[in-house]
Amino acid sequence: MSEKKDLESGDPELECVRKPMELPTLPKPLTLEEKKYLLAVERGDMGNVRRILQKAHRKKHIEINCVDSLGRGALTLAIDGENLEMVELLVIMGVETKDALLQAINAEFVEAVELLLEHEELIHKESEPYSWQKVDPNTAMFTPDITPLMLAAHKNNYEIIKILLDRGATLPNPHDVKCGCEECIRESTEDSLRHSLARLNEYRALASPSLIALSSTDPILTAFQLSWELRNLAFAEQESKAEYLELRRQSQRFAVDLLDQSRSSQELAIILNHDPDEPAFVDGDHMKLARLELAIDFKQKRFVAHPNIQQLLASIWYEGVPGFRRKTAMEKIMIICRVALLFPFYCSLYMVAPNCSTGKLMRKPFMKFLIHASSYLFFLLILILVSQRAEVQAIQLFGPEWMVKELEKELLKQRGNGPTYLELVVVVYVLGFIWEETQEIYIEGIRSYLRNMWNFIDFTRNSLYVAVAVLRFAAYIQQTTEIRRDPQTKFIPRENWDAFDPQLIAEGLFAAANIFSALKLVHLFSINPHLGPLQISLGRMVIDIVKFFFIYSLVLFAFACGLNQLLWYFADLEKRKCYVLPGGLPDWDNAGDSCMKWRSFGNVFEASQSLFWASFGMVGLENFELAGIKSYTRFWGLLMFGSYSVINVIVLLNLLIAMMSNSYAMIDEHSDVEWKFARTRLWMSYFEESATLPPPFNIFPTPKLLLKMLGLRKKDKIRKMKMKEHKEKEHDVRYTAVMRALVWRYVSAMHRKMDDEEVTEDDINELKGDVSALRYELLEVFEKNGMDVSFTDRKEKMVLGKRMKVWERRLMKDFHVAPVALDDEKPADEDGLSRFRRIAKLAVASTSNAKWDQTLASTGISSQIGRCRSRESFKNQQNLQRAMEEARKLVLRSPLPGSRAGTPIEMPISPGHTLLELIKDISTEVAETEPEPTTSPPKSPWKPPGEEGVAGLAAGALLSAADARSRPVSPKPAPTPATSPVPAVSPPPGPAKVRSFLIPWIVCLQCAWTLAADRCLLNLHPLLPRHQCLLYHRRQDLPR
């Protein structure tokens, strides 16, 4: 009762909750007249459509805005057929456009778009929705957020986009995906799906190549930024990730297509060196390639790997060594070995005379790469010598006897030793590496530095070496202090040191730093076309291993906890057997087996290590034979260990192999693009003028550095800046000219590509529509000139295409698109028994079987269009307004006395209707549109009677051929004497003989009035018979 009272009360919250969802307004069934109207529009019958519309305005017998079962109205059908004349007629006669403008844009019907834009501007009022916004959103073809410019961008139609942009149409600016403004919060709260789809539609429009080319002054930069934004959206909205990634690829393809249009190295240099924040690029200057660096930052791999760019980069890369690529393999090896051996000489000469020929050669990218690589290889050689204690071995092998004895004494000193000579060389190299990384961060910035993953390896390597130096210095201070207190401490062997002695920790970190130093050599492999793809695949596999490690760690930790919980007590018993010596030391000689077993499952960490090595077969079942273990406990331990082995070895390891194989397959599929992109990043790092000297030579001061610090080179720099300033304006003009040329070439290429496309089904349908419209126009012309066109109705079906036949069949069969409606709404007056029946019916219909039976039984605001700005568009709009006004005046007038009704509309044969009834309805409509006879004879063409019966009456009466076919066939009726005189104007019902006698005289009376028209037809077509009346008399063998 309380719920009933609450519902009866006017609580707005409860009303909001119980408010039902509004059902969509689906198309209503069409009447016969409306079907004829839509058929005439589809077939392009201008005459009948004009007469139907005039009659509809006078008598209101049909709804001129009616739609078929699929929601297509007359304007939509005319647009689908690309019949511009029909579209103009419908618009002038007052048919509502609704979303016809969007339909025309979707069909890419440019002429109709221009007409509908002018009409929309003519009828639209401020602060009111546009015509397409008034359509019911539930049944509309397009979502409410779609605008004309947005749809044109979706279709990527250059011409329509330009028309809308010239009118001042705009696109809504999409908000950021993390935007927290009131509008975004409200829309996402009301309908999150519509909000997400609206953003997707906006970005789909923004990614249109034609829109970018027409609206952006820098299309390449716009494509880069949009591509990066779409990449971020793909990760932010995982639900639409595939769509956003496809739009990102579309933007990338547009930038590549623009680059395809470059035709000279000068154009390419202007494009790649353009930077609006830097001075203008002058021919002959050092190429900074700012736009190429931006492409690398935005991950434009296909743009970077373009053949034009790679050719330019290769010419810059091998600039210092001309003809290097044309040399043989042996000659290349000799050049590389010479530079590798003489790199200290080159570096020393550059430090003394940087402007000499050798110094200028060192600034070339390829020579700089060879010298840096040679220096790094020498550093790796030093590391190998340090790890192998090369100094000790050299003295032992080649040193004199006294030096060997001194070495043996020094080797007895385990503590308090300083760094060796080779270790000092390593320290100098590390200082050079640190200074090199500091310069890179200063020049490129911290963000650009962190984008390169190899910089993380360099940072880790340098950090480890610094930590080693600090720990070695701390260990040296500590050990020196101990030796001062007790000189014998320097002879303490390593096995007696503390486990966390600083020197031991430093040696461990030094070993790890050596690993990172050797791995950095892989980065140099990217310059080789064979090793480069493998290096990229290795990087991808490392990422797969990191992702796999999270799942593997979870499984490992879970089983480690279980085994430790099960076996900790028995492992502790083995530990007691092991540590029996005085001082708590393990007895490895007598209880070595116990010392090994207790570590397997003594704690979680030890258990995790045991399970990890079990993946490689390093742990066996003998580790479960612990002291005092029971059979039941041992069984559970073995069962858990077996389960771990199955999950780890069979499932997880094979999963890792599959992931790595997939990564390699992806790299191999795009190996050329991936390798060229990685190689370009390596090349770009050597194109800069800075960092010419490699470590460790870069830490020593040079005359060039001293002159720069004293400011003596500032004058030369100021002079060059002044020379560039007066060319900056010219540079902007050159870049704008190049971009305009690229856009023009791109658009022209796209149009030529469209022209070269093969004939499609749409082209055939368009041709069919044109033929159908031309047929009706010819029929109307022939009829006005006195020809008989009634026999053409029988061949109407020959003009129709397959799609048109399907549509007409559905139209005549009342095919209706609507979901199954359940009568679950409570009637206004319902008694108890009716209510019980309705509830029972709903309960039965809600079951799955009932639904299946039922299914089986049913199987038998910113400006969206802008304003016209050209004088021609304004004149067209005025003409359209005058035509609409004249059409309204014409509808109000009465028909002329001599006007004709036109050719009847032939309905398609439908088994669901009686053909005779349809034809009689058409004849009745045509008879209603004809004027009353006047005293003067009408000037109508002569129409012969058919073989089936009487085809014409006196005074120009008209009957369709279909109606004549429905009567009995009598090709030669026998003459019968007339019993009574018959008037000349209309034959009364009587015997066939009377009608046969009067028909020739009536026909001749028609021919007398149409003699002039027949002569015109003879002049028009020489193959026409002399006179149709004479042909008729000969055929019927009747007296003239």
pLDDT, tens digit, for every residue of 462-509?
Answer: 999 999 999 999 999 988 888 888 888 888 888 888 888 889 999 999
Q: Do the beta carbons of residue 734 and residue 270 sit within 8 Å?
A: yes
In a domain, 253, yes or no: yes
d(CA 920, CA 958): 13
Q: Which residues lie closer than 8 Å to 559 by C-beta, 6 or more apart?
A: 611, 640, 641, 643, 644
CB neighbours of residue 957 within 10 Å: 18
660, 678, 696 - which closes a domain: 678
Q: Do the beta carbons of residue 527 and residue 317 sit within 8 Å?
A: no
d(CA 940, CA 957): 10
204, 230, 261 - which closes a domain: 261
Q: How much is the pLDDT for 736? A: 86
Angle between helices 365-387 and 502-519 (to 10 degrees): 150
- What is the three-class DSSP state of 411? helix
Q: Do the beta carbons of residue 956 and residue 1010 sit within 8 Å?
A: no
In a domain, 869, yes or no: no
Q: Write the CA distances from 322 to 63, 315, 318, 345, 575, integer angstroms.
A: 81, 9, 6, 22, 72
Q: Do the beta carbons of residue 391 and residue 406 sit within 8 Å?
A: no
φ and ψ of 949, to 5 deg: 170, -160
CB neighbours of residue 464 within 10 Å: 22
For residue 73, give the DSSP letter. B
In a domain, 713, yes or no: no
φ and ψ of 164, to 5 deg: -70, -40
Indicate the number of domains in the chain.
Answer: 3
d(CA 27, CA 138): 11
In a domain, 158, yes or no: no
Q: How much is the pLDDT for 770? A: 72
Q: Do the beta carbons of residue 81 and residue 769 sit within 8 Å?
A: yes
In a domain, 562, yes or no: yes
Q: Which two tokens stand for residue 461?
A: 């390597």
The pLDDT tens digits of the residues spanning 171-183 come to 888 888 888 888 8
235, 261, 287 - which closes a domain: 261
Q: Do the beta carbons of residue 115 and residue 87 sit within 8 Å?
A: yes
Q: For 622, what's the count of Cα atoms within 13 Å in the CB-facing half-sphere?
A: 6
d(CA 32, CA 921): 9
- What is the three-class DSSP state of 953? strand
In a domain, 904, yes or no: no
Within the chain, which residues score under 50 in pLDDT? 1-19, 794-799, 817-824, 845-861, 894-901, 909-1040
- What is the three-class DSSP state of 881? helix
- Name the nearest CA neighbour of 741 among 270, 280, 313, 294: 270
E strand or H helix at 343, and its extent?
A: helix 343-352
Q: How much is the pLDDT for 984? A: 41
Instruction: Pick left, alpha or beta for residue 299 (phi over 0 → left; psi -120 to 50 → alpha; otherwise beta).
Output: left
Q: How much is the pLDDT for 295? A: 94
CB neighbours of residue 1005 within 10 Å: 15
For residue 520, give the DSSP letter. G
In a domain, 574, yes or no: yes
pTM above 0.75, yes or no: no
d(CA 761, CA 146): 27
In a domain, 205, yes or no: yes
Q: Which domain holds residue 255?
A: 174-261
